[in-house]
């Protein structure tokens, strides 16, 4: 009897090991590359093999909603510090023209990419770097040619969460069409001043959470991005989506931490929301 039990346990353990090995082998592998100002996420399972991010497009001042874009942006340079041999950990350093240093540790693992960002002001002057823009190009992922003329053709694939529900962008109403610059759409969380966001049309709707994303062309995958804290969610003009992260300015000697994550996962919205709730509990609104 004891021998039979031991044999059963060994058999179950073998099944677990084989299953775990199979799952690990089947797990999509993402890698990272740096090409000029592009952060490139690569994976054999991705449409056309990659997703490109202008990282970072800009660091921005407050009072930006009605301002000229050139008055909003603060110049910066980005340096590649290192890329691991397996191309899954990248370190970047941004030097903002006002003296702020922003270090980025970007890690690809399984079906996600994480961002650990540290912004430090080593100067004796306050910094007006309030937010920053990673511009994520998603034309290929959604099945639309980035060279096409209709820059809004990918919107049926794009979504955010409104009133607690995933809402595809063609179903978002109202859709503001007035701003200093057109087209596009900005959604701002409650805590961020409406005067401090992208000078594109600002929606009156407040997102339910910090997720913005899209479905792949064949609807089999979801791309989603979250930063904490975030300044805004933004649908842009290069078949792009943004979760622009918030810095909120830096006092002399001050350091702030920002975190972010990109998910590239099977089309299972409840599973995505469960992972988001675990990874970003600070963004979950308490139920009444």
pLDDT by residue (tens digit) across 124-183?
A: 999 999 999 999 999 999 999 766 678 899 999 999 999 999 999 999 999 999 999 999
pLDDT by residue (tens digit) across 79-94?
A: 999 999 999 999 999 9
- Is pTM beyond 0.85 here? yes
Distance CA 239, CA 179 (A): 19
HEC readout, the chain:
CHHHHHHHHHHHHHHHHHHHHHHHHHCCCCEEEEECCEEEEECCCCHHHEEEEEEEEEEECCCCCCCCHHHHEECEEEEEEEECCCCCEEEEEEEECCCCEEEEEEEEECCEEEEEEEEECCCCCCECCCEEEEEEECHHHHCCCCCCCCCCCCHHHEEEEECCEEEEHHHCCCCCCCCCCCCCEEECCCCCCHHHCCCCCECCCCCCCCCEEEECCCCCEEEEEEEECEEEEEECCCCEEEEEEECCCECCCCEEEEEEEEEEEECCHHHHHHHHHHHCHHHCCCCC
Q: Which two tokens stand for residue 243?
A: 């979760």
The whole-chain average pLDDT of the chain stands at 91
pLDDT of residue 148: 67
CATH class of 27-281: mainly beta
pLDDT by residue (tens digit) across 47-67?
A: 999 999 999 999 999 999 999
pLDDT by residue (tens digit) across 230-275?
A: 999 999 999 999 999 999 999 999 999 999 999 999 999 999 999 9
Q: How is the chain split into domains, by residue range?
A: 27-281
């Amino acid at each position: 009897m004891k021998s039979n039990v031991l044999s059963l346990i060994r058999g179950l353990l073998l099944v677990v090991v084989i299953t775990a090995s199979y799952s690990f082998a089947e797990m999509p592998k993402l890698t990272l590359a740096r090409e000029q100002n592009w952060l490139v996420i690569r994976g054999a399972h991705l449409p056309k093999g990659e997703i490109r991010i202008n990282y970072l497009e800009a660091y921005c001042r407050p009072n930006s909603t009605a301002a000229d874009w050139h008055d909003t942006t603060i110049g910066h340079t980005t340096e590649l510090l290192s890329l691991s041999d397996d191309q899954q950990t990248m370190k970047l350093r941004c030097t903002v023209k006002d003296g702020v240093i922003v270090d980025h540790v970007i890690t690809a693992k399984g079906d996600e990419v994480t961002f650990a960002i540290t912004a430090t002001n080593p100067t004796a002057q306050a910094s007006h770097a309030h937010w920053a823009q990673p511009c994520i190009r998603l034309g290929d992922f959604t099945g639309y040619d980035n060279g096409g003329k209709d820059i809004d053709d990918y919107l049926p694939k794009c979504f955010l969460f409104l009133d607690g529900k995933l809402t595809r962008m063609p179903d978002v109403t109202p859709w503001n069409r007035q701003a200093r610059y057109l087209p596009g759409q900005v959604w701002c969380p409650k805590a961020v001043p409406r005067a401090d966001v992208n000078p594109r049309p600002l929606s009156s709707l407040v997102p339910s959470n910090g997720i913005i994303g899209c479905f792949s062309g064949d609807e089999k995958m979801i791309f989603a991005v979250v930063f904490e804290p975030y300044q805004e969610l933004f649908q842009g003009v290069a078949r792009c989506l943004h979760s622009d992260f918030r810095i909120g300015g830096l006092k002399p000697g001050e350091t702030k931490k920002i975190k972010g994550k990109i998910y590239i996962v099977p089309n299972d919205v409840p599973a995505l929301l469960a992972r988001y709730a675990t990874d970003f509990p600070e963004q979950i609104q308490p139920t009444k």
